[in-house]
């Protein structure tokens, strides 16, 4: 893990490189108590400006799909963000695409949840729209054009979050993260 990345935990979460090869897989794991979580982010350094056309691509797999919450996102704070999420506490059976700038827009992506690797890509455009892709295909209900972070004010950072909703540990494996911002 490079110095840019930071982690925070509630409970006994952990971040570990689980593949000994250079650039190996990073596993985020929760503790084994309800509501334990693990977060990987840029330590609140928000340097990605939506008005410059920002994109993030993540290859990841969720290792358990019951009683779990996972978010792969770009965020300013907890109410200003764009993300993919899966929440069993909300009855999700598929990935959801979500934007929030105070108010929120939550749409079903049409892509069922599983424990395979997928490539998730979010592209923010200065025209106030966000496109969401899974494995190269644009998701149902994409692009979202409502509740987009403000172009002038909201600098974003990558933010990955997993939480267990039961007394069992949950984990997500992240193979790579690619972030691009146009000049």
Is the pLDDT confidence value at 77 over 70?
A: yes
How far apart are alpha carbons 37 and 10 in whole angstroms? Answer: 5
pLDDT in tens, 84-103: 999 999 999 999 999 999 89
Is the pLDDT confidence value at 109 over 80?
A: yes
Write the CB contacts of 157 (distance below 8 Å, at least 6 apart in sequence). Answer: 41, 42, 44, 45, 46, 47, 48, 74, 75, 76
How many Cα atoms within 13 Å fall on the side-chain side of residue 153? 7
Mean pLDDT across the chain? 87
| Distance in Å from the first CA to the final CA of the chain | 26
What is the reported pLDDT for 12?
66
Q: Hey, what are 75's tokens? A: 């965020």
Return the biggest CA–CA distance within the chain: 46
Q: What is the mean pLDDT of residues 43-60?
A: 85
Of the candidate ranges 49-53, 72-76, 78-82, 132-136, the one whose mean pLDDT is the lowest:
49-53
How far apart are alpha carbons 163 and 33 in whole angstroms? Answer: 10
Q: What is the mean pLDDT of residues 144-170?
A: 87
CATH number of 6-181: 2.60.120.200
Q: What is the mean pLDDT of residues 126-130?
A: 85
Is the pLDDT confidence value at 151 over 70?
A: no
| Whether the Cβ atoms of residue 131 and residue 138 lie closer than 8 Å to each other | yes
Query: Nearest CA to 42 among 172, 179, 183?
Result: 179
What is the reported pLDDT for 182?
84
Is the pLDDT confidence value at 105 over 80?
A: yes
Q: What is the mean pLDDT of residues 121-150?
A: 92
How far apart are alpha carbons 84 and 120 in whole angstroms? Answer: 8
Is the pLDDT confidence value at 124 over 70?
A: yes
Of the candidate ranges 20-24, 96-100, 125-129, 159-163, the one whose mean pLDDT is the lowest:
20-24
Q: Hey, what are 55's tokens? A: 């994109």
pLDDT in tens, 1-44: 345 777 777 776 666 656 555 567 888 888 889 999 988 888 77
What is the reported pLDDT for 107?
95
């Amino acid at each position: 893990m490079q110095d840019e990345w930071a982690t925070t935990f509630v409970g006994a979460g952990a971040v570990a490189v689980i593949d000994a090869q250079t650039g190996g897989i990073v596993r985020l794991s929760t503790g084994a108590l309800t509501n334990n979580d693990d977060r990987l982010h840029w330590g609140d350094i928000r340097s990605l400006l939506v008005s410059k056309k920002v994109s993030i691509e993540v290859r990841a797999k969720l290792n358990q799909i019951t009683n779990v919450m996972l978010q792969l996102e770009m965020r300013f704070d907890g109410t200003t963000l764009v993300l993919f999420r899966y929440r069993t506490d909300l009855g999700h059976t598929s990935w959801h695409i979500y934007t929030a700038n105070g108010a929120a827009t939550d749409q079903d992506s049409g892509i069922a949840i599983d424990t395979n690797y997928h490539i998730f890509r979010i592209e923010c455009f200065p025209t106030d729209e966000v496109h969401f892709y899974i494995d190269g295909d644009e998701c149902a209900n994409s692009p979202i054009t409502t509740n987009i972070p403000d172009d002038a004010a909201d600098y974003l950072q990558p933010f990955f979050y997993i939480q267990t909703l039961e007394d069992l540990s949950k984990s997500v494996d992240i193979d790579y993260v690619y972030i691009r911002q146009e000049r």
